[in-house]
Amino acid sequence: MSDETTAPATEETEDLTLKENFRLLLKASKGFWLVNQINFLDGIAYFGILMLLTRYLGPSGLGMTDQLTGFSVSLYTGLVTLFMFGGGFVSDRLGVRRALTWSLIVIGAGRVILTAAPAFSETSHIAAWTGLMLMALGTGVMQPALYAGIKEYTDPRTATIGYGLLYSIMNLGIVAESFISPLIRSDATFLNLGFMEIVGLGWGINGVYWTAVAITGLMLLVHITFFTKKIEDNDRTVAAKETDENETGKTWIDKLKELPFADPRFMFFIFILLPVRTIFAHDFLTVPDYVFRCFPEAVSAKYEWIHGMNPLIIVIFVPTIAALTRKKKIIDMMIIGTAITATIPFILGPGPALWTLLTYVTIYSFGEAVWSSRFLEYVADLAPAGRVGAYMGLAGIPWFMAKFTTGLYSGSMLARFVPETGPHNSGTMWVIYACMALISPVGLILAKPWLIKGVKAKGEK
């Protein structure tokens, strides 16, 4: 283990150019890239399922009402984050390699049950919920393990871009999913050059889900074959758990006091992001049905391609923006990014139009690129070695609340403003959502002096 792992970055490392940072990452260890192969492939499988989940469970799928569908999807995504709280501790205890192994097994079982739910006939809803619960449990352990893996297999010189790359590689998986999914799901013609025609397979949503099951099996096979204990031990640059003579005598109360919940600035910082995070939740709770119900079939057949613009922009801009702004105060980046994310839904106010939809996806994605990975870096920097998973899990409470609470009203809002049949008033719905999201950047602006005062004590992060 290098002495660099726990030492602060020197001026020399901070002054590396963007090109030098990427060159260092390209030479990263096998452990770093094996963590990211799961990150990439699970991006395909997880979002391949999530992006079509309201359609799969809803009136045109398993027959759930809009309200029950919204609640079910929100409960699933909320439980992913809820399980991350305990999953972080599980990841720290098992280590990155073993935590990823067991999480893949549990996720795979859940995806099989969810995909097979239609075969259960009268108990299909119960089967779907069972599959979703298992998937949530496995993902709740996997996510903190991936974050911990990045810290363990990078050094102070590459950490900032490492977290940006983690986010980008996941989104690269979503790009692949967005391209593949409609070709599997729809039987529409996607390309007609006269002499050559590309037509979708027409396997439906169930076909997309079985593909996700196969990808999960591939992930597990690659992981257990190549991510050996030898690689885990040799490639790690940060100790999995720093032992301390004082640690053994600490009670659970003492350990809880060391968590960031005792820091009022940290608590305000993560919770003020809750309103703007509801826009992220609408990406899978509202946008799919909005597109399928408000746009013609020529657009909805290629819905995944439109959504795929988001991860494509993330892939390009997250690591680049993270590298170019690594010396900027995180509060400034959060204000800029959340303001972009919160205001862009206003463009959908006049009503559905393809150009406004494409503009919304493009600018919303750029706002996400500005602040997404910096949040992860900030939380990881606060965490002592060996407790990154726990910190990452606990910092996800507002994301859990955003996903869960958004689902409590998203189905009712769809039923009122964009029903399956009947007149639509989608513009009003999006204006309401934008006004709610604006609470985040406004709150950050008002609290900026107080937040910066506290952040200075932590080294200008």
Is the pLDDT at 435 greater than 80, yes or no?
A: yes
**Which of the pair, 190 or 126, is modelled with greater confidence?**
126
Per DSSP, 347 falls in state G
In a 3-state reduction of DSSP, which class is residue 191? strand
pLDDT at 418 over 60: yes
pLDDT in tens, 223-237: 999 888 877 776 665
* pLDDT for res 10: 35
Q: Rounded CA gap, 372 and 50, in Å? A: 20
Phi-psi region of 101 (alpha: psi -120 to 50; beta: other; left: phi over 0): alpha
- Domain ranges for the chain: 28-238+259-456
Question: Tokens standing for 190?
Answer: 């996607």
Task: Determine the pLDDT at residue 34.
Answer: 86
The DSSP-derived string for 100-124 is HHHHHHHHHHHHHHHHTGGGGGGGH
Question: Considering the entire predicted model, what is its pTM?
Answer: 0.69
Position 259 scores a pLDDT of 60
Per-residue pLDDT, averaged over 282-303, amounts to 88
Per-residue pLDDT, averaged over 77-92, amounts to 79
DSSP string, 19-80: HHHHHHHHT--HHHHHHHHHHHHHHHHHHHHHTTHHHHHSTTTT---HHHHHHHHHHHHHHH
Q: What is the pLDDT of residue 459?
A: 46
Please check the confidence at residue 397 and state whether its pLDDT lies above 60. Answer: yes
Q: Which fold has domain 28-238+259-456?
A: Growth Hormone; Chain: A; (1.20.1250)
Burial 90-127 (b: 16+ CB within 10 A, else e): bbbebbbbbbbbbbbebbbbbbbbbbbbeeeeeebbeb
Per-residue pLDDT for 199 more than 90? no
- Relative to beta strand 189-192, strand 197-199 is antiparallel
Reported as a single tens digit per residue, the pLDDT across 263-275 is: 677 778 778 888 9
Residue 6: pLDDT band by 50, 70, 90 thresholds?
Answer: very low
**Helix H or strand E encompassing 9:** none
Question: Does position 379 have pLDDT exceeding 70, yes or no?
Answer: no
pLDDT in tens, 332-366: 888 898 999 999 999 999 989 999 999 999 998 88
At 310, give phi and psi (nearest 5°).
-60, -60
Residue 192 pairs with which residues in a beta bridge? 197
Query: pLDDT tens-digit profile of 35-80?
Result: 888 989 998 999 899 989 988 998 888 989 888 998 898 889 878 8
Query: Which residues, other chains included, contact 298 with Cβ-Cβ below 8 Å and sequence gap of 6+?
Result: none
Residue pLDDT, tens place only, 152-178: 777 666 666 676 677 678 878 888 888
Q: What is the reported pLDDT for 128?
A: 94
